[in-house]
Structure 1
C-alpha cells in the first residue's frame, strides 16, 4: 500500500471534490497536459493507478478519453459532466478508494464486504483451478442468474435500438464494431458486484481486496453479405515483456452462445509457452503482434447465458465471425487488486 500512497501525491489536488474523490483531479490534470502537448513522462505504474481510479470511480477509461475528445474543458466541467451523465460515485466506494490512495486501511464496510467474500464456499473447484493453471482460463458457470442475464441482454437490446425478433434491426451503424459503448447501468453494476463473480476472481488472485473495471458490453451480429466481422481478432492487451505477470480479463455471456456464434476465442495454455515462442521469432519479440496468432491453436469457447470466462491476459484472445442466425451478447467484467504487477517496458 505504501507504493500506492507515494504515487498518489505526485500532483497537488483539491482537498474536496464534487465527486468525493480528490485524486480524480490528478488524473484529469495528466490527461489535460497530454492534450495540450505538455505531458510529463508517466510510468506504467502511474498509468495503471490512473486506470484504477477511473474504474473505481465508476467512470471507466473510454468514457474519460471520449470526454476529452468531444468536450474538453476545465476539471469543474469534467465533474459536472460526470454528475450529469454518470452520477456521483457512492459514498462507500469513494471512501474506500480515498483510503487506499492514502495508504490507510479499508473502511469497516469494505472490510466486512471482503470478509464475506472470503467466507464464501469456493465457486471454483480444485479441478477448475488446476484447469486454470494448465490452460490459462476457466469458465464459471451460472456466474449470474438466468434472469439477470436476460435483464442485462434487454438493456443491451434497448441501448442499440434493436429487437431480438427482428433481424433487420441488428445492424445499426457502429464505428466500434462488435463493441457497444454502454458502460453505466444499474444492471451492469449489479453483475460486477455479483458475489459468485467476486469469489471466483478472489480465488485466482488470492485476495478479496479487488476492484471492478467499469467496462462496456458487446453485440456480435451474424454475418451477412453486407455485414462482415471486423474484429477484434486475436490480440493481447498487455506488454509481452517476459515473464508476463498475473493479470485477468473476463467476458460474461448474456445469451446461450455456440462456438460458431462469434464466441470468445483464445489460445489455451499459451501463457506457459509464450516466452519460448517469443524467443523463437525471427523478428524477435517486437514482431509478436504481427504474427498469425490463429495458427497457434485458437479455440472458441461456447457457453450458456450467465457463464463467465476468465482468462490470463498472456493468452492471445479475441472474437470470431458469427456464422449462426443469432447474435452474441456479452458484458466485459474484470476484477483486479490495486497493486497488480505491471512491467515498465512495452513489448
Structure 2
C-alpha cells in the first residue's frame, strides 16, 4: 500500500521493492547493449553519447533514446506498478507512458552536467493541472549519487508561492531562491512517483558508479482520442520515439533495425490502448478534470 498522506503532503512517494531483480537487470542489460557500455567497466562509459535535446536542461543529462525494448514493456505492464498508480489516481482505466531511461554517469566522466530542477507542466495555468510522473530505480542511488532531487511539499503550497513571484516568471523553471532542494535516495527495484507540480530534476552524480532509471508514468486513458490511441499503438508496433522537443530519438534507428515488438499481457494491451477498459461490460471513461502532464503520452 502507498502512503497517500505522505504523497499528498510532500508531493512524492517511494514505493519500495516493487520490481524483482531479474526484471530490473533485463532493462540494465538492454541499456548497456544500446549505449555500448558496461556498467562495471568505467573505461567504457565514455562511449555513451547523449543527443542534443530540445529542452536545454536535458542536454547532457543522460537521456537514453531507447523506448520499446521488451524488458521496458515488462515494467510498463507490471501489475504491482499499475496498482500503485491506480491507487493514487483512484481510477482503474489508465494508459502507461512511452518513455525512456536515464543513465547519469559520475561527474568525473561527464563533467559538464550540473543538474537541474524544473516542471514538465505549465504552472501558469489556472486551475493548476494534476498529473503524475515516475520512474523505476534500476540501480540503488544514495544521496550524492546523481539521483532524483526535488522541493518537497511544493505542490501543496504552490498556489500561494506563485503569488509571491513576478508575473514574468518562467512557469517551467522555478526560481530556487529560498527553496530547499532535497535528494531522495532509492533502492534497486523501488518505484518513485511524484506529482507533476513538484519541482524536480536530476542531481549531479558525485559517486563512482552510474545511476540508471526507467521513466514510467500512468494517467487516465483517453479512449475517445482516436488519433492519440492510434499513435500509441503504432509507436509500440514500429518501435517509435514519442514526438516533441524533449524526445530527439536515436539517429541510428537502432530499435527499428535491431529490435522486436514486445509482447503484451491482457493488462498491457489495455495500458497501451490496444484494448478498451471494460468493467461489468461498461467501458470506463476518463474523468473530465484529469489532465496529462507527464512526458511520453
Deviations 1:46-101 (A, max 9, x none): xxxxxxxxxxxxxxxxxxxxxxxxxxxxxxxxxxxxxxxxxxxxxxxxxxxxxxxx
Pairing 1:104-253 to 2, within 5 Å after superposition: 123-124=1-2, 128-171=3-46, 172-175=48-51, 176-177=59-60, 178-224=62-108, 227-229=111-113, 231=115, 233-240=116-123, 241-253=125-137
TM-score (norm 1): 0.59
Name the SS of the counterpart of 1:303 in structure 2: coil
Residue 117 of structure 1 corresponds to which residue in structure 2?
none
Name the SS of the counterpart of 1:191 in structure 2: helix
Determine the C-alpha separation between the residues in 2 that align with 1:166 and 1:300: 26
Residue 228 of structure 2 corresponds to which residue in structure 1?
none
TM-score (norm 2): 0.68
Larger relative contact order (Cα-Cα within 8 Å, sequence gap ≥ 6): 2
Determine the C-alpha separation between the residues in 2 that align with 1:285 and 1:274: 16
* 5+ long unaligned stretches in structure 2: 52-58, 223-285, 293-297
Deviation of the 1:165 alpha carbon: 2.1
Whether the aligned pair in 1 keeps the contact of 2:24 and 2:138 (CA below 8 Å) is yes
Moved over 4 A (4+): 288-291
Higher Cα radius of gyration: 1
Distance 1:336 1:285, change over 3 A: farther
CA RMSD after TM alignment: 1.9
Determine the C-alpha separation between the residues in 2 that align with 1:274 and 1:202: 24
Deviations 1:284-337 (A, max 9, x none): 264454543274111111111111100000010100110000010110000000
Deviations 1:12-53 (A, max 9, x none): xxxxxxxxxxxxxxxxxxxxxxxxxxxxxxxxxxxxxxxxxx
Whether the aligned pair in 1 keeps the contact of 2:174 and 2:199 (CA below 8 Å) is no
Deviation of the 1:239 alpha carbon: 1.4
* Higher fraction of strand: 2
Name the SS of the counterpart of 2:108 in structure 1: coil
* 5+ long unaligned stretches in structure 1: 1-122
* Higher fraction of helix: 1
Deviation of the 1:141 alpha carbon: 0.9
